[in-house]
Amino acid sequence: MFARLVAPRPGTVGRLPGVPPVLRAAWSPSDLKRPGPLLVAIAGFVIAAPVATVMACNVHEVGHGAVATILGWEVERIDLCLPTGGRVVYARVGTWAGNFQGYAGGFLAAVFLVGVYLLAFHRGAKPPRGPGWWFAGLGLVLPVGPQLVNGILEGAVRPGEDYTQLYAWALPPLVIVATVATATIYVRRWRVVWESSSARQPP
């Protein structure tokens, strides 16, 4: 009876003197067996994933242009992703810093997505407040892996070269692997929370 009285609300951490904190997840994957939470989860992902992809693409291109300008390159124009087709056209390409601006696009986009997730979705050890938010968070971070792949490959080529042509054979499988890896890390991170919640529930 005492344990039930002091049990924390879902999504909170309960503390008792001399007793480890008890974490209860705000929701459980078993909730997805019901049509309502499942539809909300699908909607959260379907909305967040394309928005995150377009945002990342634009940050990617603006990052190229900004870093290139700092390095002394002359940027003629930046074509934004609306929702695709983003690129940076240079009037003059520099060489003294190698292709550092190539790395910048993908890495800045990845950092941007992680930053937005931490600001809008991260709740410490507590999962987002429902399946809609959880799957929206997944959709938001999903482009992080592909952006890192793009950044590495773009930086690996010489200034002015097109990495999509040089690495045409490797780009699709690497992007797929990076996407799956990002999703796996996200799911496993919250799986630990759910398992911890189940194992530490008060009797």
Cβ neighbours of residue 169 closer than 8 Å, sequence gap 6 or more: none
pLDDT in tens, 1-17: 323 323 334 444 444 44
Which amino acid appears at position 86 of this protein? G
Residue 13 placed within a domain: no
- The total of structural domains in the chain comes to 1
Residue 21 placed within a domain: no
Global pTM reads 0.79
How distant is the alpha carbon of residue 88 from its chain centre?
23
Residue 9 placed within a domain: no
pLDDT in tens, 139-167: 999 999 999 999 999 999 888 788 988 89
Pick from 184, 190, 58, 65: nearest CA to 124: 190
On whether the CB atoms of residues 82 and 101 are closer than 8 A, the answer is no
Other Cβ atoms closer than 10 A to 124: 8
Residue 167 placed within a domain: yes
Residue 190 placed within a domain: yes
pLDDT in tens, 91-122: 888 877 778 899 999 999 999 999 999 988 87
On whether the CB atoms of residues 114 and 90 are closer than 8 A, the answer is no
User: What is the extent of the structural domain holding 135?
Assistant: 27-197
Residue 8 placed within a domain: no
pLDDT in tens, 58-79: 999 999 999 999 998 999 999 9
Residue 18 placed within a domain: no
pLDDT in tens, 49-59: 999 999 999 99
Question: Sign of dihedral through CA atoms 161, 164, 165, 167?
Answer: positive
Distance CA(57)–CA(96), nearest Å, equals 26
Cβ neighbours of residue 180 closer than 8 Å, sequence gap 6 or more: 145
Residue 112 placed within a domain: yes
